[in-house]
Structure 1
Amino acid sequence: MATSATTGLPDATAAPVVAPSAPNPPSVHVRAVITWLAIFPLVAIGMLLIGPVSVDWHPVARAFVLTLIVVPLAVYLVVPQLMRAYGAIRARKSR
């Protein structure tokens, strides 16, 4: 809000500042599908890669190591890329 230089009070003649509206975020259902699209291939590939090394491991240890790899990859790399792609498709459709 603009203020008067002399009084320090809000200036009634100044036009209100309107922030540009942000696009609506995807629905929870779309986010769930995007997350699944990121997680499933990472888990499948991770299981194939650590399978030969972890044959004798306890299943909880296998799950622990797999999630140590898959979760950061999904959260920091794959899901943001898929969300960007979804946003681009959505923007293209809205034009």
Structure 2
Amino acid sequence: MSDITTAPTAPPSVHVRAVITWLAIFPLVSIGMILLAPVSESWHPILRALLLTALVVPTAVYLVVPQLMRAYGATRRAAAKRRTARV
């Protein structure tokens, strides 16, 4: 049963989604580059990019971005709750 007193929140703006996506992708790419460097230094750059993106994109899309979106939503809900408590 849902609480009818809580209004659904608007989805995050495209700018917020872009920042959240970047926050997921940058560390994953950085870590991936460091981990792949010893085994892939002789590979063609396109092959390295292919492998790196094949690992990073699903990890970001299915694991990291949803967690960051949940954290962002929880933060927004907490801020909204604080605002309504002051009024």
Task: Please indicate, yes or no, whether the TM-score normalized by the shorter chain is above 0.5.
Answer: yes
Q: What is the Cα deviation at residue 21 of structure 1?
A: 5.1
Q: 1:9-40 deviations in whole A, cap 9, x for unaligned?
A: xxxxxxxxxxx853200000000000000000
Q: Which structure 1 residue ranges, 4+ long, deviate > 3 Å from structure 2?
A: none
**Are positions 1:45 and 2:36 aligned together?**
no
Sequence identity of aligned pairs in percent?
Answer: 68
**Are positions 1:84 and 2:70 aligned together?**
yes
Query: Residue 32 of structure 1 aligns with which residue?
Result: 18
Normalised by the length of structure 2, the TM-score is 0.84
Residue identity in the other structure for 2:80: S
C-alpha distance in structure 1 between counterparts of 2:67 and 2:12, whole Å: 14
Structure (1 or 2) with the larger CA radius of gyration: 1
Q: Secondary structure at the match of 1:53?
A: helix
Higher relative contact order, chain-length normalized (CA < 8 Å, sep 6+): 2
RMSD: 1.1
Residue segments in structure 2 that go unaligned for 5+ positions in a row? 1-5, 82-87
Residue identity in the other structure for 1:39: I
Residue segments in structure 1 that go unaligned for 5+ positions in a row? 1-19
Q: How many residues align?
A: 76
C-alpha distance in structure 2 between counterparts of 1:73 and 1:43, whole Å: 11
Normalised by the length of structure 1, the TM-score is 0.77
